[in-house]
Amino acid sequence: MRVILLADIRGTGRKGDVKEVREGYARNFLIRRGLAAPATEIALAAKAREEETKEARRVERRRAAEIAAGKFTGFELTFPIKAGPGGEVYGSVTAKNIEETLAARGCRDVTVKLPKVLKILGAHRVELDFGEGIKAIVGVTLVRED
Sequential DSSP letters for 84-100: -TTS-BSS-B-HHHHHH
Q: Of the given ranges (3-12, 87-96, 121-130), which has the lowest mean pLDDT?
A: 87-96
Q: Of the given ranges (36-40, 51-55, 83-87, 112-116), which has the lowest mean pLDDT?
A: 83-87
Please say whether the beta carbons of 107 and 138 come within 8 A: no
Q: Which ranges in the chain are annotated with CATH 3.10.430.100?
A: 67-144
Task: Report the top-level CATH class of 67-144.
Answer: alpha beta
Kindly tell me if the per-residue pLDDT of 74 is higher than 90: no
pLDDT of amino acid 17: 94
Q: Of the given ranges (28-32, 49-53, 71-75), which has the lowest mean pLDDT?
A: 71-75
Please say whether the beta carbons of 136 and 127 come within 8 A: yes
Which tens digits make up the pLDDT trace of 15-49?
999 999 999 999 999 999 999 999 999 999 999 99
Q: Which ranges in the chain are annotated with CATH 3.40.5.10?
A: 2-61
| CATH architecture entry for 2-61 | 3-Layer(aba) Sandwich (3.40)
Which tens digits make up the pLDDT trace of 89-123?
888 899 999 999 989 988 888 899 998 999 888 89
Indicate the pLDDT class of residue 84, thresholds 50, 70 and 90. Answer: confident
pLDDT of amino acid 33: 95
For residue 24, the tally of other CB atoms under 10 A from its CB is 9
Instruction: Identify the sign of the CA torsion 88, 115, 130, 74.
Output: positive
